[in-house]
Amino acid sequence: MAGERAAIRYAKAVLSLATESNTADAVNTDMELIKNTVAESKDLKDMLYSPVIRSSVKKSALLEVFKNTNKATVNLIDVLIANKRISLLPEVASSFITLFEQQKGSQVAQVTTAVPLTKELENKVQAKVKELTGKEAAITNIVDENILGGFILRVGDTQYNASIANQLNKLKREFTIN
């Protein structure tokens, strides 16, 4: 939770600087690259979270992997290294993308389901998001079998949990209290 808040603060700072220097689009592209690359590479993820690897090694590895990035992105990596928060890089990138989309007037709706969404269900989710927020949203589907069924919808800071696992947990709490 504290890491998530810190990631949002870093993302807001980078977005503010990038907007002032008219490089927000380029930095957004960098953040998408960082988010996707870290998500796809187990070695890169392990390196970021490793307490054994020196910060200087992490920095040089990241700057080598993300060579052609904007100056603001390089500065973000420097600040995260200096503050010993480099493990937050993927979360900062994700938060930046969300904030950038909000600034542009669009939004991303994250839907977690037990099975992949069909096109028909995706259209229903899109309609529900538009009804709730008044805006169109890009739908991102995350498959998590642990929710058993139903869905978890997250748009910005709002989350609606209609999963079977959540309902079972509520029942369990009710029975243990009484």
| Residue 9 scores a pLDDT above 60 | yes
Q: Single out the residue in 102, 136, 158 at which a domain terminates.
A: 102
Could you tell me if 95 and 147 lie in one domain? no
Could you tell me if 86 and 127 lie in one domain? no
Identify the domain containing residue 76 by its residue range: 2-102
Torsion angle of C-alpha atoms 156, 162, 163, 166, degrees rounded to 10: 90
Single pTM value for the model: 0.64
Could you tell me if 36 and 120 lie in one domain? no
List the Cα angle 170/176/178 in 5-degree steps.
105
Could you tell me if 6 and 90 lie in one domain? yes
**Dihedral sign from CA coordinates of 92, 101, 115, 149:** positive
Could you tell me if 49 and 117 lie in one domain? no
Could you tell me if 86 and 110 lie in one domain? no
| Residue 135 scores a pLDDT above 60 | yes
Could you tell me if 95 and 132 lie in one domain? no
Could you tell me if 77 and 112 lie in one domain? no
Q: What is the band of 178 on the pLDDT scale with cuts at 50, 70, 90?
A: low
Higher pLDDT, 157 or 120: 120
pLDDT at 14: 92
In the structure encoding, which two tokens stand for residue 175, read together?
């029975």
Strand (E) or helix (H) holding 128: helix 119-133
| Residue 48 scores a pLDDT above 80 | yes
Could you tell me if 110 and 84 lie in one domain? no
| Residue 1 scores a pLDDT above 70 | no
Could you tell me if 15 and 87 lie in one domain? yes
pLDDT at 39: 86
Q: Single out the residue in 39, 67, 102 at which a domain terminates.
A: 102
Q: Single out the residue in 102, 128, 150 at which a domain terminates.
A: 102
Q: What is the band of 79 on the pLDDT scale with cuts at 50, 70, 90?
A: very high
| Residue 139 scores a pLDDT above 60 | yes
- What letter represents residue 143's amino acid? V
Contact 7, 92 (CB under 8 A): yes
CATH label of the domain that carries residue 24: 1.10.520.20
Q: List the single range of 34-43, 48-57, 141-150 with lowest mean pLDDT.
A: 141-150
